[in-house]
Amino acid sequence: MEIEITSGKLNVLDQGKGPAVLLIHAFPLHHEMWGPQIPVLSTRFRVIAPDLRGFGQSHPPSPWTMEEMADDLNALLDRLNVDTCSLAGVSIGGYIGFAFWSRYPKRVRQLVLCNTRARADNEMEKKGRNEMIAAIQQNGVSILPDRMLPRLLRPDAPQEVVGKVRTMIEAADASAAIHALTAMRDRLDFSAALHRIQTPTMVVAGENDAIIRVEEARSMADAISGSRFVQIPDSGHLSNLENPEEFNRALLGFLN
């Protein structure tokens, strides 16, 4: 369904009853990346899975920062009459999760940070974002699948998963992709704030993640007092899609 907020219309899946779980998708995908989790979670929880601004069926695309996207999601929860939620985000979803926790800590019951990092982009990573922005401006999103799939998925990922992710990437709006890349390039560094997180937190890493190494994810978990660290075997950057059985087991074992 579509929810009207100040920045436009957010498309959101709202399914199940119980404590709310807010799922924030990865770049440049949309809420259907949570397909393996939604049926399982919705037997115990109210699952809220939006398309980020400009992705999926949310429109129009417009520039944003991580903090502004957190504000979008806060407004969405208001419209859905949700007071508190457990928040789970993959990759850029984790970056938005940090911003949401920072701005609305009382709304977050539990935090699940998947295949993500606390620090900001370094200069090499910023250069890479700029190069991808330029490539999209010149050639559109058609350049994204071949560039991103080798880094998003482990080398021997099932063809069904590869096809699903490729289809989602190909459906991305070029402007939305550029705005998201800009937001990632310019995001704040939360490394120094990790010790302040009092919210129960689980950090999830993919065993074969080429973007966020296991060691980096483990270090982030070590910096968050009392956090749980889980490594998902046989998975890359999209651990929830590549090994949904182990991912779901970890998620259900943590959420309450």
Q: Are strands 20-24 and 85-90 parallel, antiparallel or unpaired?
A: parallel
Residue 83: per-residue pLDDT:
98
Contact 256, 110 (CB under 8 A): yes
Contact 120, 189 (CB under 8 A): yes
Residue 27: per-residue pLDDT:
98
28 prior amide bond cis, ω within 30: yes
3-class SS at 253?
helix
3-class SS at 73?
helix
Q: What is the CA radius of gyration of the chain?
A: 17
3-class SS at 227?
coil
Residue 26: per-residue pLDDT:
98
Residue 96: per-residue pLDDT:
98
Residue 187: per-residue pLDDT:
98
Question: Using CA atoms, how far apart are residues 162 and 142, in angstroms rounded to an integer?
Answer: 16
Question: What does the domain layout of the chain look like in residue ranges?
Answer: 2-254
Question: Using CA atoms, how far apart are residues 247 and 235, in angstroms rounded to an integer?
Answer: 10
State the DSSP H helix or E strand holding residue 236, giving kind and residue range, or none if neither: none
Helices (H), 17-158: 38-41, 66-79, 92-103, 123-139, 144-152
Written as tens digits, the pLDDT of the chain (256 aa) is 999 999 999 999 999 999 999 999 999 999 999 999 999 999 999 999 999 999 999 999 999 999 999 999 999 999 999 999 999 999 999 999 999 999 999 999 999 999 999 999 999 999 999 999 999 999 999 999 999 999 999 999 999 999 999 999 999 999 999 999 999 999 999 999 999 999 999 999 999 999 999 999 999 999 999 999 999 999 999 999 999 999 999 999 999 9
Residue 168: per-residue pLDDT:
98
Question: Using CA atoms, how far apart are residues 24 and 6, in angstroms rounded to an integer?
Answer: 19
3-class SS at 1?
coil
Instruction: Spell out the CATH class of 2-254.
Output: alpha beta
